[in-house]
Structure 1
Amino acid sequence: MFDKEAVIKLCNDLSKNTLMTTLEIEYIDAGEDFLTAKMPVNPRVHQPMGLLHGGASVALAESVGSAASIMFVNPEKQEVRGIEISANHLRSKREGTVYATARIIHKGRSLHLWEIRIVDEEDRLISLCKLTNMVLPRKS
Structure 2
Amino acid sequence: MGEQHSPKFPQEIIDEYAALGIDLPALFSAGHLGERMDIRVLEAAPDRVVGTMPVEGNTQPYGLLHGGASAVLAETLGSVGAMLHGGIDKIAVGVDLNCTHHRGIRSGLVTGVATPVHRGRSTATYEIVITDEDGKRVCTARLTCLLRDTNPQQQG
Partner of 1:89: 101
Partner of 2:75: 62
Q: Distance in 2 between matches of 1:31 and 1:129?
A: 18
Q: Which has the larger radius of gyration?
A: 2
Note the alpha carbon deviations across 1:60-105, whole angstroms, 9 max, x for none: 0000000111211223x21110000000000111110000100001
In structure 2, do the counterparts of structure 1 residues 5 and 80 end up closer, same or farther at CA, with 3 Å as the change threshold?
closer
Partner of 2:6: none
Q: Which has the larger share of strand?
A: 1
Partner of 1:71: 84
TM-superposed deviation, 1:137: 0.8
Q: After the TM superposition, which segments of 4 or more aligned residues of structure 1 sit over 3 Å from their partners?
A: 4-7
Cα pair 1:4 1:31 within 8 Å, conserved: no
Instruction: Please give the residue correspondences for 1:8-27 in structure 2 after superposition, counting only pairs within 5 Å.
Output: 10=24, 12-14=25-27, 15=29, 18-27=32-41
SS in 2 for 1:130: strand
Give TM-score, length-normalised by structure 1. 0.87
Identity of aligned residues (%): 32
- The match for 2:136 among 104, 121, 124 is 124
Structure 2: unaligned runs, 5 residues or longer: 1-9, 18-22
Structure 1: unaligned runs, 5 residues or longer: none
Aligned-residue Cα RMSD (Å) equals 2.2
Q: Distance in 2 between matches of 1:4 and 1:117?
A: 26
Cα pair 1:4 1:29 within 8 Å, conserved: no
